[in-house]
Amino acid sequence: NEKSFGERSIPSYKFSEAKLIVGVGCDFLGTWVSPVDFASDYAKGRKVSKEKPTMSRHIQIESSLTITGASADSRVVVKPSEEATALADLYNAINGGAASNPKIGKVAQELLAKKGASIVVSGSNDENVQLLTNAINAALGNYGSTISFSSSYNTKLGSEKSASALLEGLKTGAYKGIVVY
């Protein structure tokens, strides 16, 4: 997010307001970022009432069954090594290219039909995969509607770069008066 938007934070995801949710290797109901909050919000979007006659649709692209995948309306099963490729395929199809996987092409069509009212999330720790996920959400106009930086998750604010610099400083003696054992 810092590279994409200059924001070193995790945005809020409004699952209850999304008409289409696509998770790529992301167990957002079980283990990802804030599953208790996400499960509660997701459930609101899945309730049908007189006032809200439709519920959100959920597609999960993953390699092994997760809590989130078990709750999905549709699952696209890929190998673990293919999750990033599936996301790249999705990006290409959303931006006018052709998807090499017909199932991913269908997901892209559904996302394009729900521009500004969808969410795409990835559970990958690969920075490039997250940049691609951000680009997909930006192309779909999801920022400012279903995804927002106005209230963000302030977890894991530590910086590997800062921690490494501190450790190096301690080793080289740049930080006087601190003893490293």
Query: pLDDT by residue (tens digit) across 2-54?
Result: 999 998 889 999 999 999 999 999 999 999 999 999 999 999 999 999 999 99
Question: Do 107 and 61 form a contact (C-beta atoms < 8 A)?
Answer: yes
pLDDT digits (tens, 9 = 90+) for 157-171: 566 777 787 788 878
Query: What distances in angstroms separate CA 107 from CA 1, 20, 56, 180, one per listed residue?
Result: 24, 10, 14, 53
Across the chain, mean pLDDT equals: 92
Tokens of 162: 């800062």
Instruction: Return all residues near 89 (Cβ < 8 A) that are at least 6 apart.
Output: 99, 100, 101, 104, 105
